[in-house]
């Protein structure tokens, strides 16, 4: 344009390479590809999430111009900038994130693009990869398998547990401890070997557990509801994982406007089903009536199944769920993530009034929990990284019957 306006050929010579370069880059990119093989895993523990991996391109020559970008799940925060290193025809990466609370997050596979060095042409990978699942639970869940669950199967004892205990089917012999009860000593084996040997048994496990996540909106607002639901989802998946490991049957239900249920089952397939269901659990825009939850639950699950309800107890509607579930024959325990921990810490009141407001909030929360206790045992989950309260409650013998369900 400048050349025509000024009747000067010089700007044309400046424009010529700039006009030719995109075409040249597009043509030169035809032989390149961003298709690759991805090997990655989560190596972190506890609150730390460390995702390391390797992108191995199909054509080694393309590795130098592969640009790898990552999408961090909203539940995780960035602890350090991502490290991407091109080395020996591969691209290795290390992502250091953190989880501020228990979470189950799907990390989308990194976006791998071959970009021309001048940045004028690019090719995206055509092959799709599976996401990486990052799971972070309170460590107490590892001990949850010892909890006694209500039997709902007609023939108990069909499913042996992996746990070794004092009763059940004979499993093997071991050295007796000094405090071993005499009835557990295998006297014949002891006489044969010449030292005290004790029997070990494979504990029978046919108990069932139903996990219901209350995904209805509350007056706390969308952001806090989302956060509480995220913590509940993680806890639900962690509890399910712990019981499935013990060969118990686990069912899952999400209640928003309607009840969406995964029927009771066990094994690896059920673990995958539950993981999918937990990931699909999002906050419902409309709150369904509590009775609908109980009626629908009865269609999917037998009465008497040990039930864990995850709800914030922030609204009146939350309180109605427990009596309705009990009326339909479900012995319920409530795990209630405290909204006080999820609320933003920005002071909105005067400095001297703020502590008073916080104290009032705590009192109100205690009142709500106490009110819910009238219908079922409630664990006020304040420290999201500890589920000691839940574990000790479930390990109490026959707690469900004592509550009158």
Determine the Cα angle at 37 with ends 34 and 39, to 5°.
130
104 has which bridge partners?
135
Q: Distance (Å, rounded) from C-alpha 398 to C-alpha 315? A: 29
User: Any contact of residue 167 with other proteins (CB under 8 A)?
Assistant: no
Rounded to a whole number of angstroms, the minimum distance from the CB of residue 352 to other proteins is: 42
Sign, CA dihedral 289-228-238-241, equals: positive
Query: Interface with other proteins includes 356 (CB under 8 A)?
Result: no
8 binds other proteins (CB under 8 A): yes
Size of the site for other proteins (CB under 8 A): 44
Burial class (CB in 10 A: 0-12, 13-18, 19+), 196: middle
- Closer by beta carbon to other proteins, 68 or else 99: 68
Closest approach of Cβ 65 to other proteins, in Å? 6
What kind and span of H or E run contains 27? helix 10-28
Residue nearer to other proteins on the CB measure, 123 or 249 = 123
For residue 303, the Cα-to-chain-centroid distance in whole angstroms is 27
Give the interface segment with other proteins, choosing from 66-74, 128-136, 147-155, 252-260 (CB under 8 A).
66-74
3-state helix, strand, coil in the chain (%, to 5): 35, 30, 35
Helices (H), 127-286: 187-193, 222-245, 267-280
Q: Is residue 20 at the binding interface for other proteins, with CB under 8 A as the rule?
A: yes
Q: Which is nearer to other proteins, 114 or 330 (CB)?
A: 114
Under a CB-based contact definition with an 8 Å cutoff, are residues 153 and 247 in contact?
no
- Taking the least distance from each CB to other proteins, the nearer of 61 and 360 is 61
Q: State which of residues 42, 65, 214, 380 lies at the interface with other proteins (CB under 8 A).
A: 65
**Residue 71 or 364: which CB sits closer to other proteins?**
71
70 binds other proteins (CB under 8 A): yes
Q: How far is the CB of 96 from other proteins (least distance, A)?
A: 12
Cα–Cα distance for residue pair 83/96, rounded to 1 Å = 9
Q: How far is the CB of 31 from other proteins (least distance, A)?
A: 5
- What is the Cα–Cα distance from 395 to 147, expressed in whole angstroms? 4
Nearest CA to 284 among 229, 324, 325? 229
Nearer to other proteins, 20 or 142 (CB): 20
**Stretch of 69-77, 130-138, 276-284, 350-358 contacting other proteins, by CB under 8 A:** 69-77
CA distance 327 to 190: 53
x-marked contacts with other proteins along 77-106 as a string, rule CB under 8 A: -x--xxxxxx------x-------------
Task: Scan residues 107-126 and list those touching other proteins (CB under 8 A).
Answer: 115-120
72 is a contact residue toward other proteins (CB under 8 A): yes
DSSP state of 176: P
Closest CA to 183 of 195, 204, 167, 203: 167
Residues that bind other proteins (CB under 8 A): 2, 6, 8-14, 16-18, 20-21, 23-25, 27-31, 64-65, 67-72, 78, 81-86, 93, 115-120
């Amino acid at each position: 344009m400048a050349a025509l306006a000024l009747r000067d050929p010089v700007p044309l010579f400046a424009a010529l390479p700039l006009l030719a370069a995109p075409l040249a880059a597009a043509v030169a990119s035809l032989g390149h590809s961003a298709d690759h093989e991805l090997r990655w895993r989560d190596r972190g523990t506890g609150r730390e999430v460390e995702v390391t991996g390797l992108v191995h391109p199909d054509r080694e020559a393309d590795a130098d111009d592969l640009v790898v970008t990552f999408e961090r799940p909203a539940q995780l925060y960035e602890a350090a900038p991502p490290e991407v290193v091109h080395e020996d025809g591969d691209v290795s990466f290390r992502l250091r994130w953190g989880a501020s609370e228990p979470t189950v997050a799907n990390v989308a596979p990194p976006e791998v693009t071959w970009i021309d060095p001048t940045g004028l042409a690019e090719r995206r990978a055509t092959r799709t990869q599976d996401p990486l699942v990052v799971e972070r639970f309170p460590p107490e869940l590892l001990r949850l398998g010892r909890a006694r669950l209500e039997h709902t199967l007609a023939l108990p004892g069909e499913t042996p547990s992996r746990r070794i205990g004092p009763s059940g089917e004979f499993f093997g012999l071991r050295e007796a401890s000094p405090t071993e009860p005499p009835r557990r000593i295998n006297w014949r084996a002891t006489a044969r070997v010449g030292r005290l040997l004790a029997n070990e048994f494979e504990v029978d496990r046919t108990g069932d557990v139903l996990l219901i996540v209350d995904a209805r909106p509350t007056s706390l607002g969308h952001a806090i509801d989302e956060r509480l639901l995220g913590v509940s989802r993680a806890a639900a998946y962690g509890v399910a994982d712990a019981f499935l490991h013990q060969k118990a049957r686990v069912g899952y239900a999400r209640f928003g406007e309607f009840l969406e249920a995964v029927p009771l089952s066990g094994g690896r397939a059920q673990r995958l089903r539950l993981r999918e269901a937990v990931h699909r659990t999002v906050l419902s825009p409309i709150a369904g009536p509590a009775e609908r939850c109980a009626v629908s639950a009865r269609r999917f699950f037998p009465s008497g199944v040990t039930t864990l309800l995850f709800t914030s107890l922030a609204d009146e509607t939350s309180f109605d769920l427990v009596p309705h579930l009990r009326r339909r024959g479900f012995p319920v325990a409530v795990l209630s993530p405290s909204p006080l921990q999820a609320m933003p810490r920005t002071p909105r009141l005067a400095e001297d009034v703020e502590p008073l407001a916080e104290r009032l909030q705590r009192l109100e929360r205690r009142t709500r929990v106490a009110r819910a206790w009238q219908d079922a045992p409630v664990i006020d989950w304040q420290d999201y990284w500890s589920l000691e309260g839940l574990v000790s409650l479930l390990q109490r013998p026959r707690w469900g019957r004592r509550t009158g369900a």
